[in-house]
Chains A and B, each alone.
Chain A
Amino acid sequence: MSQYDVVIIGGGPGGYNAAIRAGQLGLKVACVEKRETLGGTCLNVGCMPSKALLHASEMYDAAMGKEFATLGIEVKPKLNLSQMMAQKAESVTQLTKGIEFLFKKNKADWIKGAGKIAGPGKVEVTAADGSVQTLEAKNIVIATGSEPTPLPGVTIDQKRIVDSTGALSLAEVPKKLIVVGAGIIGLELGSVWRRLGAEVTVVEFLDRITPGMDTETAKTFQRSLTKQGIVFKLGAKVTAAETSKSGVKLTVEPVAGGEAETLEADYVLVAIGRRPFTEGLGLESVGVTPDKRGVIETDHFKTSAPGVWAIGDAIHGPMLAHKAEEDAVACIELIAGKAGHVDYNLVPSVVYTAPEVAWVGKTEEQLKEAGVAYKVGKFPFTANSRAKINHETDGFAKILADAKTDEILGVHIVGPQAGEMIGEYCVAMTFKAASEDIARTSHPHPTRSEAGRQAAMGVEGWTMQS
Chain B
Amino acid sequence: MADIMTPALGESVTEATVARWTKKAGDAVRKDEILVELETDKVSLEVAAPADGVLSEILAAEGDTVEPGAILGKMSEGGAAAAPAKAEAPKAETKPEPKAEAAKAPAPSQPEVMTTKPAAPSAQRIATENNLDLAKVGGSGKDGRVTKGDAIAALETRANAPAAAAAPAAPRALHEREERVRMTRLRQTIARRLKEAQNNAAMLTTFNEVDMSAVMALRTEYKDVFEKRHGVRLGFMSFFVKACIAALKQVPDVNAEIDGQDIIYKNHYDIGVAVGTEKGLVVPVIRDADDMSLAGVEKAIGAMGKKARDGQLALDDLQGGTFTISNGGVYGSLMSTPILNAPQSGILGMHKIQERPMVVKGQVVIRPMMYLALSYDHRVVDGQGAVTFLVKVKDAIEDPQRLLLDL
Interface residues of A (CB under 8 A from B): 3-5, 25-28, 138, 336-338, 402, 404-407, 430-434, 436-437, 440-441
Closest to B140 in A: A432
Which residues on B sit within 8 Å (CB–CB) of A26?
A: 88-89, 91, 94
6 shortest interchain CB distances as A-B pairs: A405-B149, A434-B148, A436-B122, A25-B89, A336-B89, A432-B141
In the complex, A318→B103 CA distance in Å?
Answer: 49
28 CB contacts below 8 A, A to B, read A3-B92, A4-B92, A5-B89, A5-B91, A5-B92, A25-B87, A25-B89, A26-B91, A27-B91, A404-B152, A405-B152, A406-B122, A406-B148, A406-B152, A407-B149, A431-B145, A432-B120, A432-B141, A432-B145, A432-B149, A433-B120, A433-B122, A434-B122, A434-B123, A434-B149, A436-B121, A436-B125, A437-B121
Which residues on B sit within 8 Å (CB–CB) of A432?
A: 120, 140-142, 145, 147, 149
Answer whether residue B362 sits at the interface, using C-beta atoms and an 8 A cutoff: no
A394 to chain B, nearest CB (A): 31
Which residues on A sit within 8 Å (CB–CB) of B123?
A: 434
Check A437/B141 contact, CB under 8 A, given A25-B89, A336-B89, A338-B87: no
Q: Is the CB of B92 within 8 A of A437?
A: no
Closest to B150 in A: A405
Q: Is the CB of B142 within 8 A of A430?
A: yes
Q: Is the CB of A337 within 8 A of B125?
A: no
Answer whether residue B90 sits at the interface, using C-beta atoms and an 8 A cutoff: yes
Q: Which of A3, A4, A138, A437 contacts B120 (CB 8 A)?
A: A437
B83 to chain A, nearest CB (A): 14
Closest to B126 in A: A436
Q: Is the CB of A337 within 8 A of B148?
A: no
Closest to A436 in B: B122
Which residues on A sit within 8 Å (CB–CB) of B89?
A: 5, 25-27, 336-337
B144 to chain A, nearest CB (A): 11
Interface residues of B (CB under 8 A from A): 87-92, 94, 120-123, 125, 140-142, 145, 147-149, 152-153
In the complex, A440→B121 CA distance in Å?
Answer: 7
Which residues on A sit within 8 Å (CB–CB) of B141?
A: 431-432
Q: Is the CB of A402 within 8 A of B122?
A: no
In the complex, A441→B121 CA distance in Å?
Answer: 8
Q: Is the CB of A436 within 8 A of B148?
A: yes
In the complex, A405→B149 CA distance in Å?
Answer: 4
Which residues on A sit within 8 Å (CB–CB) of B88?
A: 26
Which residues on A sit within 8 Å (CB–CB) of B91?
A: 5, 26-28
Which residues on B sit within 8 Å (CB–CB) of A336?
A: 87, 89-90
Number of A-B residue pairs, CB cutoff 8 Å, is 74
Q: Which of A25, A27, A430, A437 contacts B148 (CB 8 A)?
A: A437
Which residues on A sit within 8 Å (CB–CB) of B125?
A: 436, 440
Which residues on B sit within 8 Å (CB–CB) of A404?
A: 149, 152
Which residues on A sit within 8 Å (CB–CB) of B147?
A: 405, 407, 432-434
Q: Is the CB of A5 within 8 A of B90?
A: yes
Closest to A138 in B: B92
B259 to chain A, nearest CB (A): 48
Q: Which of A337, A431, A437 contacts B90 (CB 8 A)?
A: A337
In the complex, A441→B123 CA distance in Å?
Answer: 13
Closest to B123 in A: A434
In the complex, A26→B387 CA distance in Å?
Answer: 84
A2 to chain B, nearest CB (A): 11
In the complex, A406→B149 CA distance in Å?
Answer: 7
Closest to B85 in A: A338
Which residues on B sit within 8 Å (CB–CB) of A407?
A: 147-149
In the complex, A338→B88 CA distance in Å?
Answer: 10
In the complex, A4→B91 CA distance in Å?
Answer: 10
Check A431/B148 contact, CB under 8 A, given A5-B92, A441-B121: no
In the complex, A126→B125 CA distance in Å?
Answer: 62
In the complex, A436→B120 CA distance in Å?
Answer: 9
A460 to chain B, nearest CB (A): 10
In the complex, A399→B327 CA distance in Å?
Answer: 65
Which residues on B sit within 8 Å (CB–CB) of A337?
A: 89-90
Q: Is the CB of A405 within 8 A of B142?
A: no
Closest to A405 in B: B149
Which residues on B sit within 8 Å (CB–CB) of A434?
A: 120, 122-123, 147-149
Which residues on A sit within 8 Å (CB–CB) of B87?
A: 25, 336, 338
A317 to chain B, nearest CB (A): 21
Closest to A28 in B: B92
Q: Which of B90, B122, B125, B140 has the most CB of A within 10 A?
A: B122
In the complex, A405→B145 CA distance in Å?
Answer: 14
Which residues on B sit within 8 Å (CB–CB) of A441?
A: 121
In the complex, A209→B305 CA distance in Å?
Answer: 82
